[in-house]
Structures are given as C-alpha cells and as structure tokens.
C-alpha cells in the first residue's frame, strides 16, 4: 500500500494541483473516499504520521472504514488499528512513485505500529481502500 502516488500525477489532475499533504490534498482524498463503498462489515482505522525536521510540524491523517464508507481526515486517531510512520523525505518519495512502501519498510524508513495481525487479516480490504484513492492520484 502506497498511500501516495505509485506514479507521478498527470498534469492538471487533482493530485498535481493539490500539493502533497496540503489541505487541498486531504480534501481530494476525502472526496474520493466519499464516492466509494467498501464491505459494510469492514471496520478499520489507519493512521499515517509524516514526521518533519524540527522546523516543520509533523502531519498526521486518518483513513477510517466503517459502515461501508471510507473517510479521510487530518489529525490523529484515538485508537488506530495500524499506524504508518515515515519522515517527510520518505513520504514524498513514496508519493512521487520513486520509492515503494515495501522498499521503505524493508529499509527501515517506514515503520508500522498497532495490531498487525488484524491488518494482515484485512489485506484485501486494504488493497480496495488504496484503489479508492486512484482518482485523487490520476
């Protein structure tokens, strides 16, 4: 799962216009999420934390799947099922398609926390959620 751009965004697309991690970018992700449906039984809270250098504040956002819907909001979750944490350089490289999340994880640049077993059991749902954001990346 990339949660960024697997390929560079097309010129003129929402992803190209909305700067990565900007309010407009979060709005584009949430708009794509609102238009989708997932299994009504799926309950999953995914938190992303992008750490910055000392002069730049960390950015966190939450993707929630519940009642057949997906939502994205800026901020932190009270009780995420899983948290992905990476520095800004890594997050931007994943977003631009220059680095896969898998490679970042293997290299120790992307850290996972939370209930990994529950997330592995829902891996097909994670792929479906990632597919939802293709419209925002196109």
- The pLDDT tens digits of the residues spanning 24-34 come to 999 989 998 99
Q: pLDDT by residue (tens digit) across 73-96?
A: 999 999 999 999 999 999 999 888
Low-confidence ranges of the chain (pLDDT < 50): 1-15, 17
Whole-model pTM? 0.81
Q: How many CB atoms lie within 10 A of CB 105?
A: 15
Do 7 and 136 contact (CB within 8 A), yes or no? Answer: no
Res 137: pLDDT: 56
- Segments of 21-78 assigned E as strands: 44-51, 59-66, 69-74
Res 26: pLDDT: 92
Token pair 């992700």: residue: 29
Do 114 and 84 contact (CB within 8 A), yes or no? Answer: no
Please give the domain boundaries of the chain with CATH numbers for all domains. 14-137 (3.30.1050.10)
């Amino acid at each position: 799962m990339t949660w960024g751009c697997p390929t560079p965004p097309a010129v003129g697309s929402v992803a190209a216009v909305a700067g990565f991690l900007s309010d407009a970018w979060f709005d584009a992700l949430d708009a794509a999420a609102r238009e989708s449906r997932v299994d009504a039984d799926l309950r999953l809270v995914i938190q992303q934390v992008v750490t910055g250098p000392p002069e730049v504040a960390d950015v966190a956002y939450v993707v929630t799947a519940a009642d057949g819907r997906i939502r994205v909001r800026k901020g932190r979750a009270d009780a995420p099922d899983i948290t992905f944490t990476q520095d800004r350089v890594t997050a931007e490289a994943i977003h631009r398609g220059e680095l896969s999340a898998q490679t970042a994880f293997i290299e120790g640049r992307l850290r996972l926390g939370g209930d990994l077993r529950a997330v592995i059991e829902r891996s097909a749902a994670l792929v479906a959620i990632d597919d939802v954001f293709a419209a925002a990346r196109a």
